[in-house]
Structure 1
Amino acid sequence: MAGAYVQLLDATGEFTAEAVTSPEGEFRFFAAPGEWMLRALAPVGKGERRLSAEVGMNETTVAVED
């Protein structure tokens, strides 16, 4: 989904960063290994996903629901 805001929250729920999705619906964060929460906010709804990031590139999706 293009133009959605994706927030990166740390293990305590503190806001760390935000990115806007590309026309292809992709986003990227540079974060340390550990437990993270991704929160997507779009005009059609929102979604969340927990992620255990490892060293290197980690790929995931966040489902957006109304």
Structure 2
Amino acid sequence: MSAASTQTHTIPAGVDLGRETAITGKVVTGDGEPVGGAFVRLLDGTGTFTAEIVASGSGDFRFFVAPGDWTVRALSPVGNGTASVKPTTSGIHTVDITLTA
């Protein structure tokens, strides 16, 4: 059993997006259908594992990060997918991950 917590797409109250950087998105199939329960991993610019969460039932995920180069990888029985995101400022940065079998 994983210690990864399930995430939602909603940013918690009290988070100052003028000062915080968040990567959010949705895990989806090639047809755009959401995939809940996928393990979503965050890798830094060197490819080093940084964090892991479980996508919500609607496929949503969220990480709070520092600006920089990040890779987000989703692993699921439906398939796997990877996306890159490079936030340079604070705020919400959205990237969806499309799974392939």
Describe the SS at the equivalent of 2:97. coil
Match of 2:50 in 1: 16
TM-score, normalization by structure 2:
0.63
Match of 1:65 in 2: 100
Once the two structures are superposed, what CA deviation does each residue of 1:4-41 show, in whole Å capped at 9, x if it has no partner? Answer: 01100000000000010001110010101110001100
Bigger Rg, which one: 2
* Overall identity of the aligned pairs, in %: 47
Aligned residues: 66
Which amino acid in structure 1 is aligned with residue 94 of structure 2?
Answer: E
Match of 2:38 in 1: 4
Cα shift at 1:60: 1.2
Task: Give the whole-Å Cα distance in 2 for the aligned partners of 1:49 and 1:59.
Answer: 11
Which amino acid in structure 1 is aligned with residue 72 of structure 2?
Answer: L
Q: Does 1:38 align with 2:38?
A: no
Match of 1:56 in 2: 91
Gaps of 5+ in 1: none
TM-score, normalization by structure 1:
0.95
Gaps of 5+ in 2: 1-34
| CA root-mean-square deviation | 0.7
Higher relative contact order (CA 8 A, sep 6+): 2
Task: Give the whole-Å Cα distance in 2 for the aligned partners of 1:44 and 1:2.
Answer: 10
